[in-house]
Amino acid sequence: MPCDRIWTNARLATMAGPGLGVVERGTIACRDGRIVYAGPTDGAPAFEAREIIDCEGRWITPGLIDCHTHLVYAGTRAHEFELRLQGASYEEIARAGGGIISTMTATRAASEGELIAQSLPRLDALIAEGVTTAEIKSGYGFELDTELKMLRAARQLGRSRDVTVRTTFLGAHAIPPEYADNSDSYITFLCDDLMPRVVADGLADAVDAFCEGIGFTPSQVERVFTRAHDLGLPVKLHAEQLSNLHGAALAARHGAMSADHLEHLDDAGIAAMAAAGTVATLLPGAFYFTREVHLPPVAALRAAGVPIALATDCNPGTSPLTSPLLVMNMGATLFRLTVEECLLGVTRNAALALGLADEIGTIEPGKSCDLAIWNIEQPAELVYRMGLNPLHARVWRGK
């Protein structure tokens, strides 16, 4: 079998099932950036490879996928963190004009180059832990120039590193000061002007919104989703993070790829997600950092067969986190996910949450050859440790 490169003498966690899809003595072959063989070395076809890489018994997983980030932004909110340490709540800070709006001010003021320069270290931190695909949202502009600037910056970040970037238009993240008393008019502006322009410039792969007391109402989200459908973009939703507005059920009704956060999700929302095939993206970094105590209903999600993804939610206010390994540890420790669920959460189910299940997320023939090679003795180590990065090498599209 002709191919460009093979990795051999490896232990594979293909994540293609059953379980982790473990192959103890495995080989992966790649041609034109795609996997052409992944399985036992014994009985593999005869390869004519230009390069053979001896993995010396290391473990290989799919490249990790961070399916929910706001990593493009300017400035920092360390001062708000200090206020919260003194007792202020996230919602109080937001209602006092801080929070998302303070990042909006910094992001509007930054040039595109500054925005890229400030965001690149965050992307590099993800890459350093084996990430080969990251989603990046807009949502700190709320005006045409800044929303476009954020999305262009995200795309440019993807071009400047060996990583796949998927962009999401999150114009409905907060109500900008220009529309403080008239959020419905902002939604009209978003649907009539912002979103069509983002689509015309080809800058978004999906549309997201924040359904919350300090964000947008379900009926406003409905308008955003309807417009997204008209423009041909898939949707997802920040739902049930601080309260239960039944956003997950709304998202499921609109065929959303994922509903995210979900600490306050109820049984009806779970049933709707299960029926629609909507992924539950859990964000333990935000749960931890806001000192949330209301747990997402993991056992009920599991029982209903809802696929669970895990992501950093990298953002300056509620999750200044750039470690997918720590996300897995938190998923297990805080949310009681199993090792297998944590690993699926940053691979196969994260791919599903991005609508990329045919392309990435497992090590299977036909998929992009995106791999992470680890210095570990067993896969549980990826979930178990806090702060040690055992990545040996990362492969993106076969290189």
Interaction site with Fe ion (CB under 5 A): 313
Work out which of 63, 269, 317, 345 binds ligand DI6, going by CB under 6 A: 317
Q: How many residues make contact with ligand DI6 (CB under 6 A)?
A: 14
**CB neighbourhood size of 202 (10 A):** 10
Structural contact between residues 60 and 128, judged by C-beta atoms closer than 8 angstroms: no
* From the list ligand DI6, Fe ion, none, partner contacted by residue 100 (C-beta under 5 to 8 A by kind): ligand DI6
Q: Which is nearer to Fe ion, 281 or 368 (CB)?
A: 281
Q: Smallest Cα–Cα separation from 315: which of 80, 127, 149?
A: 80
Structural contact between residues 321 and 327, judged by C-beta atoms closer than 8 angstroms: yes
* 99 touching ligand DI6, by CB under 6 A: yes
Q: Which helix (H) or strand (E) holds 310?
A: strand 308-310
Mark out the alpha helices in 129-182 (DSSP H runs).
144-160
Strand order in 279-282's β-sheet?
236-239, 258-261, 279-282, 308-310
Stretch that binds ligand DI6, among 3-11, 17-25, 98-106, 330-338 (CB under 6 A): 98-106
* From the list ligand DI6, Fe ion, none, partner contacted by residue 210 (C-beta under 5 to 8 A by kind): ligand DI6
Stretch that binds ligand DI6, among 14-22, 28-36, 314-322, 376-384 (CB under 6 A): 314-322
Give whole-number Cα distances, 40 to 3, 13, 22, 89, 212, in Å: 17, 12, 10, 53, 49
Instruction: Tell me which residue has tokens 């001010």.
Output: 105
Work out which of 316, 324, 331, 379 binds ligand DI6, going by CB under 6 A: 316
Q: Smallest Cα–Cα separation from 281: which of 213, 337, 359?
A: 337
Contact positions with ligand DI6 (CB under 6 A) in 346-375:
none
Contact positions with ligand DI6 (CB under 6 A) in 197-256:
210, 238, 241
Work out which of 14, 61, 103, 368 binds ligand DI6, going by CB under 6 A: 103
User: Which string of x and - marks every residue 168-197 that binds ligand DI6 (by CB under 6 A)?
Assistant: -----x------------------------
DSSP assignment of 170-207, as one string? EEETS--GGGTT-HHHHHHHIIIIIHHHHHHTT--SEE
Q: How far apart are CA 204 and CA 186, in angstroms?
A: 19
- Report the nearest approach of Fe ion to the CB of residue 91 (Å): 15
Q: Which is nearer to Fe ion, 16 or 100 (CB)?
A: 100
Question: What does the buried/exposed string (b/e) look like for 126-141 if buried means 16 or more CB atoms within 10 Å of the residue's CB?
Answer: bbebbbbbbbbbbbbb
Contact positions with ligand DI6 (CB under 6 A) in 252-291:
286
Q: Which is nearer to ligand DI6, 286 or 395 (CB)?
A: 286
**CB neighbourhood size of 26 (10 A):** 26
What is the number of the residue whose Cβ is closest to ligand DI6?
317
Q: How far apart are CA 74 and CA 117, in angstroms?
A: 9
* From the list ligand DI6, Fe ion, none, partner contacted by residue 103 (C-beta under 5 to 8 A by kind): ligand DI6
- Report the nearest approach of ligand DI6 to the CB of residue 395 (Å): 31
Stretch that binds ligand DI6, among 1-9, 27-35, 311-319, 373-381 (CB under 6 A): 311-319
Q: For binding to ligand DI6 (CB under 6 A), which residues are involved?
A: 70, 99-100, 103, 173, 210, 238, 241, 286, 313, 315-318
